[in-house]
Structure 1
Amino acid sequence: MASFRAAAVAGLGALSLPSFALAQALETVGAPEPRGTEHQFAATNIARDMQWLDHMILIIITAIVIFVTALLLYIIARYNRKANPVPATFTHNSPLEVAWTIVPILILVFIGSFSLPALFTQQEIPQADITIKVTGNQWYWSYEYPDVKVSEDETLKFDAFRIDGAMKIDDPAAGWGDDQPMAPAQVMNDVAVKKLAYYGYKKEDFLLATDNAVVIPVGKTIVMQITGADVIHGWVMPAFGVQQSAVPGRLGQLWFTAEREGVYFGQCTTLCGKDHAYMPITVKVVSQAAYDAWVAQASSTGNLRLASN
């Protein structure tokens, strides 16, 4: 796998376009926003169901909190020692006890009538148009397209590393050579910005973007088979509404159908060591024609870059 990645990076120099023009002109659709409090754009039916369910439950629990708070304030005002010096002597109230048993049951049944179908939709894996194998490593992701052959015995495989100032780019077309400027991995500076731009990203994508992205066609059913190579990781794409633990020795699955072209970012969400916070995921959703061209290019030359939209 490492040798294929090296070949893929080396193959970048064969392209005639300058490095900065190699970027896929895709809109960034799924990404965290500074001080954001809402969900990311829902790019799948799974994400839409999840977000609708979240909003519906928020309304219910807000109403419950308001009701209970109002009831507490009323009781404090009506039955404090000054307002009610002689307390009542009854020990129970059967209609009230029945009500506060039945009403929560009805609320839970109502929530379950929406949440269980959403859960079944996530967990019932459909027939895949494209299957992708995902392996979590400390601290990067490895991908394999088992149905895409690059040779008689090899399938399309690549690693995806975060882009930062410490990344060494071997493409001679970059013009940096062996003495290219380097910077600390988690520091945003001009070096990091230039390396992000080389891969077609903006500075706002720092610590979100990876050198190689998962490329999938819009509107197709994608099934991902996920495992871990060392410790437990978590493959999560918020805009798709999917999450799956990558457990060594076990194979987990998730599926989605992306409905909008663009760039989507995710992160590992399971504490996996010192660089857990710097283990991003990048998915690019493209047209079927662009995907077919990418597959042909990657299979024949090892070049994993998207040349144009």
Structure 2
Amino acid sequence: MKADVQENKSLVLIVDDEPFIRMILRHFLEREGYKIVEAQNGIEALTVFNQLHPDIVLLDAMMPDMDGFECCTQLHSLDCSKYTPVLMVTGLEDQESVDRAFEVGAMDYVTKPIHWAVLRQRVKRLIEQSHLQQKLEAVNVELQRLVTIDGLTQVPNRRRFEEYFNQEWQRMKRDQQPLSLIVCDVDFFKLYNDTYGHRVGDRCLQEIAKAIKEIIKRPADLVARYGGEEFAVILPNTDTEGATYVADKICDAIRTLAIPHKNSQVSPHVTISVGFTTEIPQPDSDLEEMIAAADRALYQAKAAGRDRYSSNH
């Protein structure tokens, strides 16, 4: 048990220009089980903070050159300071100083002479709150991910598709760059489900999602499950030539999977029909119309015999 406690010691940064104050704070906090690092002024504090990312900062308000208030302001401008509480240690207890401490981002303050039992509780509480906040944010990020991912295929869902398409539409409109949209529909999928059953149908969709995902490599591109057996691909900064290449690769990749489909009317294997459109969004153009154009292209691919791609400009 003792070893675990050693491993998980929180790191406290003590910032004070008086060596004696630093020493007594160090002795007290080490006895409470914390690891300690010291800085004798604000400049040094910023350097140490950047290097070691402490769990809490005990910051003296009154220091020469850069006082605690200015130091606290600068600490909060650092990228890595998001979760690190600052506890101001001050000889001042007038309202103006207390207000200022909170204004510059201190989470709490203690006054000199230090009341040790109060300091002990405040350090403990601030570190616990900070750790809890980090955990909550991590959980929220994961929940957000789950809300936007399709449970079966593990690619983004329709909701995420709509969010992202809107975002990229606006971005391409601003930059006057081409945006391509591909929609795909698994051929005769109802027949496939009727022939092999829904569990096998689910596995088929998983394989198809994986195959499409492997083609779409750029970080800004997005593959989503658009509906039952429909997938959509958003390709920002992609012209007609680029979209044609991707559409062709998708059709080919699904053929290569060679998933048996004995009742398909176009092939002994599962195939996919693909429609796409490319546009440089204009101030008066309509996002919904672009989706409709890709859908029309998909319809053309199906009408022409499926297992192919078609474009709509």
- So what's the TM-score if we normalise by structure 1? 0.26
The answer to which structure has the higher helix fraction is: 2
Please say which structure displays the higher CA radius of gyration: 2
Higher relative contact order (CA 8 A, sep 6+): 1
